[in-house]
Structure 1
Amino acid sequence: MAAAVLAAAVPVATWGLLGRHDHQGVPPSELDHAVEPLDIPAGLEAAIGVVALLLVGACTALLVRASRRGTFDRRWWQVLGPLLVAGLVIGSGWRVLTAGVVGANIGAGLVIMIGGPVVAGLLLWAAGRGLWLARRSDPSDKP
């Protein structure tokens, strides 16, 4: 459960704590968006990010503690690690995609061209490694 919450909270924390990246000095009505941002006040976005960051910290502490005690198989970090990196890319990429700019949002294109395949590769790795571990895990085979 803590691993699932951790994987879900990382992109939310990244998104919430990065804040909006709108072009400064231009009225909001003149900004172009590759993807329209969510209609959430900036203060609430930051609060959501802080709550998600607290969840990340708590879940990480629980999983590290469980790993040291042997109740969480350490090999599953090989699945969780790529999911956390993918969450960072997704959270920061969403901010770039929703940034208000004047003209073309070149960063949005880069997020799609580079971030998309990176996230897909990380998710495929995590799924493949997770399936492998699930099929091969023996409860008495914990390190």
Structure 2
Amino acid sequence: MTKPHRISLSLAMFVLVLSVPVGFAWVIGDLTNEAARQLAAGGVELDYLMRPVSFGPIWNQLIGILACIGALGAFGTLIWGTATRQLDHRWWWFLLPLVGAGAIVGHGWRVLTAGVIGANIGAGLMIIVSGPVLAVLLMAAAVAARKLSGPPT
């Protein structure tokens, strides 16, 4: 593989892993339920486990769209690289767990930042369920990275 191709494929991996959580969070959107929204409109202050980050409606939209375009473009580039044998297919054993973890993080972000009245039960369940799943996915990526660092088999 030539150096420019290696750089573009490395960049595509980087973009894919970073854009998936942002894209998922944007696509899912705010998970504050309608009853809580109506109470907030009536002057009741909502409770947040974590306050959502906002750059304003236009910037939030732009960042979400760019993240989705980046993820799709990077995925396409990596598929092309694999099909043309410029990317070793073993890299997918490293990338797919990270993409899955990114999807969980994007969804988890929306659950943790939902406005509620009282306790955010969904946030607690999200942490309990997704914590071990994230640990397994990250360990799988670490094992794949370790295998990639060794000699080809």
Scaled by the length of structure 1, the TM-score of the pair is 0.89
The answer on 1:107 being equivalent to 2:122 is: yes
Equivalences, count? 138
- Given the superposition, is the C-alpha separation of residues 47 and 75 from structure 1 closer, same or farther in structure 2, using an over 3 Å criterion? same
- Superposed counterparts of 1:1-143, under 5 Å: 1-22=11-32, 23-27=36-40, 30-137=45-152
Question: What runs of 5+ residues in structure 2 fail to find an aligned partner?
Answer: 1-10
Q: Distance in 2 between matches of 1:34 and 1:40?
A: 19
Query: Could you tell which deviates more after superposition, 104-113 or 31-40?
Result: 31-40
* RMSD value, Cα: 1.5
Question: What runs of 5+ residues in structure 1 fail to find an aligned partner?
Answer: none
**Cα pair 1:17 1:46 within 8 Å, conserved:** no
- Distance apart, 1:24 and its partner CA: 2.4
Report runs of 4+ in structure 1 exceeding 4 Å deviation. none
**Percent identity, aligned pairs only?**
38
Q: Distance in 2 between matches of 1:16 and 1:44?
A: 11
Q: Distance in 2 between matches of 1:41 and 1:20?
A: 14
Q: Which amino acid aligns with 2:106?
A: G
